[in-house]
Structure 1
Amino acid sequence: MTAAPAPEILRYAAFAASPDGGNPAGIVLDAGALDDAGMLRIAAEIGYPETAFLLGREDGDGSGDGSADSDRRYRIRYWSPAAEVPFCGHATVATAVVLAEREGPGAMVFDTPVGEIALTATTTAEGTAVAFTSVEPAQRELDPDVLARLLDLLGLVPEDLDPAYPPRESFAGNWHPVLVLHDATVFHQFRFAPAPVAALMRERGWTGTVTVLHAVGDGELLARNLFPVGRITEDPATGSAAASTGAYLRGIDRVPADRTVRIHQGAHVGRPSLLTVRIPESGGIVVSGGATPIPG
């Protein structure tokens, strides 16, 4: 009987807007033999916001027609240093870049805990870019009492919210509360205590981040994604939040004419990032970016 290959651990930064930017992701290849405790242990040892575990490959019919049955197909799970995460956009992009580098670009499908994620990887002189399409989005009203508690924890008041962007909860793989602030100074300077925010997130089932935005022009947003897990308090680049933001904008009828949004994130944690979001009239939201190896 042939022993399963030992897991290979890689480290990549996704969505970087500068050489020192992007969100670090761990990528564990050949992870099919790991149990939950093993994946959690490795994610904690790596210490990044999330680590992706590639469990195996199950290809379709090879017709290449773009359907879920025809593309390269992989099983994948995601873990933070504290718990499993249903979906992680930046680790998805980083993993797809690795697969494109090793096996060639093209279409692929990831079977994730939240459903199928269709991806396309393209390689140019500048490197490999990946676009993933989220699962079917959903939205719901943000309970006024919960909103009041969240604002209080962030040191904000209702008057800080941009009246053109009502607060909502938005889903495109993870549930994210979405707040849009009208004042740039308040957006850049608000502070929060991680533990109470983390407790509220667990209570509400917000498995992604708390997404706080500021609109700087048509199709341009600044984002801060609060992710108080262990020593990590704010995410440099959040693919699932970018998808949820696209769904949110579609839900409140604030989609730009070209149906594309650029999200600038990570400046507050010293890792500038850029996420490009395409918002079709229906269906999943498309998030694009690249990833590069982290030296050392």
Structure 2
Amino acid sequence: MSSARTTPTAEVLHYSAFAADPSGGNPAGVVLDASALDDDAMIAVAAGLGYSESAFLTPGPDPDDSRSFTLRFFSPKAEVDFCGHATVATAVALGERFGTGRFDLHTPAGRVPVTVREENGALKATLTSVPPRVDEADPDDVAEALAALGWKAGELDSALPPKIAFAGVRHLVLAAANRQRLADLDYDFDRLLALMRRLDLTTLQLVWRETPTVFHARDPFPVGGVVEDPATGAAAAAFGAYARHLRLVPEDAQLTIHQGHDMGRPSLLEVALLPGEASIRVSGTAIPL
């Protein structure tokens, strides 16, 4: 059973998503019944928890469908249209209470179906993203991002060009040429925050390619008031679209993304591309805290 914290108006559950151990993954608060909370109360709960995002459920648009919910996400600073790790945490919490199977989650970014199954004695959730897209990144914006990061253009992997990828929210994808460049992350928080607000970015998806289908990632998240996200399901979905757009991988590729290791919170995100299906699937476990 998961631990819970009681506020005057809501019970908050605590999970770490994309890890099988509480010392890893990305923590999220989950409120399974947020009907009594207004926007100010939800952001107050999120700010009090201090997690990168927390999830708040209310009944879905179909009152006769007990597996349909409206899902909103709040960082400690503001509402976020979509959050992958909080979606996985929410799906596992729902699976614990209502059993495995499919749930329909209606988010500000659109409808996100999730399925929950038991695997090796633990619950694993798979989300199906909204239709993604990949846009060109302005060279001047890329230069400003590199300046804020303290990176040089020559430290990028020329085979993985900068793009803006979307699968619910926008991410600037920058690929490091080597693992050490990715490991050495010490950026100008305010400068990067200003750029991300101007471009409506949720994170930077900084990646290094270990093999054709295995990647390492780090995600600065200053717009959420967080220096770095240890596991970013929304960015993983967007990166799946990026990899397909650039034809880096086959149409039916299964990608593995390692994130959080440099923070001491190792996370594992599984990304599936399916032929003929625009949406990207992201899978992971979540463990109660």
TM-score normalized with structure 1 length? 0.90
Partner of 2:259: 265
Equivalent residue in structure 2 for 1:139, among 108, 113, 134: 134
Question: For residue 254 of structure 1, what is the amino acid of its counterpart?
Answer: L
Partner of 1:210: 204
**Aligned-pair CA distance for 1:229:** 4.7
- The superposition leaves residues 128-151 of structure 1 with CA deviations (integer Å, 9 ceiling, x where unpaired) of 010010000011100011011001
Cα distance in structure 2, aligned partners of 1:90 and 1:182: 27
Contact 2:203/2:219 (CA < 8 Å) preserved in 1? yes
**Aligned-pair CA distance for 1:198:** 1.2
Matches within 5 A, 1:82-101: 82-101=77-96
Contact 1:168/1:178 (CA < 8 Å) preserved in 2? yes
**Is the partner of 2:222 in helix, strand or coil?**
strand
Name the stretch that deviates more: 273-282 or 14-23. 14-23
Matches within 5 A, 1:235-274: 235-256=229-250, 258-274=252-268
Equivalent residue in structure 2 for 1:220, among 188, 199, 214: 214
Partner of 2:283: 288
**Is the partner of 1:149 in helix, strand or coil?**
helix
Question: For residue 190 of structure 1, what is the amino acid of its counterpart?
Answer: L
Structure 1 35/60 Cα, relative in aligned 2: closer, same or farther at 3 Å?
closer
- The answer on 1:24 being equivalent to 2:19 is no
- The superposition leaves residues 126-182 of structure 1 with CA deviations (integer Å, 9 ceiling, x where unpaired) of 210100100000111000110110011111111111111111000001100000111
Cα distance in structure 1, aligned partners of 2:251 and 2:171: 25
Consecutive aligned runs of 4 or more in structure 1 exceeding 2 Å deviation: 57-62, 229-232
**Is the partner of 1:288 in helix, strand or coil?**
strand
Question: For residue 25 of structure 1, what is the amino acid of its counterpart?
Answer: A
**Is the partner of 1:100 in helix, strand or coil?**
helix
**Aligned-pair CA distance for 1:6:** 4.0
Contact 1:6/1:30 (CA < 8 Å) preserved in 2? no
Cα distance in structure 1, aligned partners of 2:258 and 2:48: 29
Q: State the identity %.
A: 46
Residue-pair matches, total: 281
Contact 1:156/1:190 (CA < 8 Å) preserved in 2? no
Matches within 5 A, 1:66-85: 72-85=67-80
Partner of 1:44: 47
**Is the partner of 1:38 in helix, strand or coil?**
helix
Cα distance in structure 1, aligned partners of 2:162 and 2:207: 11
Structure 1 234/93 Cα, relative in aligned 2: closer, same or farther at 3 Å?
same
- The answer on 1:102 being equivalent to 2:105 is no
- The superposition leaves residues 12-62 of structure 1 with CA deviations (integer Å, 9 ceiling, x where unpaired) of 000016441000001012102211111111110111000000012455877
Structure 1 gap segments, 5+ residues each: 63-70
Cα distance in structure 2, aligned partners of 1:158 and 1:164: 13
- The answer on 1:15 being equivalent to 2:18 is yes
Cα distance in structure 2, aligned partners of 1:6 and 1:34: 7
Matches within 5 A, 1:228-239: 228-229=222-223, 232-239=226-233
The alignment yields a C-alpha RMSD, in angstroms, of 1.8
Contact 1:17/1:274 (CA < 8 Å) preserved in 2? no
Partner of 2:3: none
Contact 1:18/1:272 (CA < 8 Å) preserved in 2? no
Contact 1:211/1:225 (CA < 8 Å) preserved in 2? yes
Cα distance in structure 2, aligned partners of 1:191 and 1:276: 27
- The superposition leaves residues 202-242 of structure 1 with CA deviations (integer Å, 9 ceiling, x where unpaired) of 11101x21110000012100000111257620100000000
**Aligned-pair CA distance for 1:124:** 3.6
Structure 2 gap segments, 5+ residues each: 1-7
- The answer on 1:56 being equivalent to 2:56 is no
TM-score normalized with structure 2 length? 0.93
Partner of 2:5: none
Name the stretch that deviates more: 141-150 or 187-196. 187-196
**Is the partner of 2:28 in helix, strand or coil?**
strand
Contact 1:218/1:256 (CA < 8 Å) preserved in 2? no
Cα distance in structure 2, aligned partners of 1:42 and 1:61: 29
